[in-house]
Chains A and B, each alone.
Chain A
Amino acid sequence: RKEVEQDPGPFNVPEGATVAFNCTYSNSASQSFFWYRQDCRKEPKLLMSVYSSGNEDGRFTAQLNRASQYISLLIRDSKLSDSATYLCVVDLNTGFQKLVFGTGTRLLVSP
């Protein structure tokens, strides 16, 4: 079983749609969780951290369910510029920051 699993997609949605991505992780000792965004042929960039209480940043909402070892990202009112690959990332809390990356979920937003 992979340490971090994501649906690779692609998710094809029209502008203005709401779309949700899910991610599961296997290591229950994981302490920190993140969503990164990666555009084609570019480096991953931090989108947001994920907290147990859930957190929101504009159109983006991230949630963590520790009991189910599940992380989600909700994007409301999708824009063309949201088209990218979204990486679910988990910090294994091993003493140095060992991040484990999912393979990503690809989102395509069309006009």
Chain B
Amino acid sequence: DAGITQSPRHKVTETGTPVTLRCHQTENHRYMYWYRQDPGHGLRLIHYSYGVKDTDKGEVSDGYSVSRSKTEDFLLTLESATSSQTSVYFCAISESFKETGEETQYFGPGTRLLVL
């Protein structure tokens, strides 16, 4: 358990409204990520963060912004939600294996967003 929570877990909203999803971690991980998962696609990276106030775009960042004002929180904002942003959103952190130093990612429980 990597100590990651996401809120809300489910949300229904209307087209054109702003929406903010929150990812919270308790173990001081430097790297945090936002992904979306849709049928027929693998998880796709939206944005990631490599420290407080340090963020960068992923492959599907259009229509999304992020903020990280504290190590433990990484917020994803849909500036003006569209139906194409209906998806399941996962937050993740990077953690290294103690034995090998290899890094991998651990995921939060996800947020199901429906944009009507």
Contact = CB atoms under 8 A, between A and B. Distances in A.
Interface string B73-112: 0000000000000000010001001001011111111100
Nearest to A98: B45
A9 to B, nearest CB: 14
Contacts of B90: 43-44
Contacts of A45: 106-107
B42 A43 contact: no
Nearest to A43: B107
A54 to B, nearest CB: 15
A100 B59 CA distance: 10
Contacts of B110: 42-43
Closest 9 CB pairs of A and B: A101-B42, A43-B107, A101-B43, A103-B42, A97-B94, A97-B103, A43-B110, A44-B107, A102-B42
Interface of A: 4, 32, 34, 42-46, 49, 87, 91, 96-104
11 contacts: A32-B102, A45-B107, A46-B104, A49-B102, A91-B103, A96-B48, A96-B50, A97-B103, A97-B105, A98-B45, A101-B42
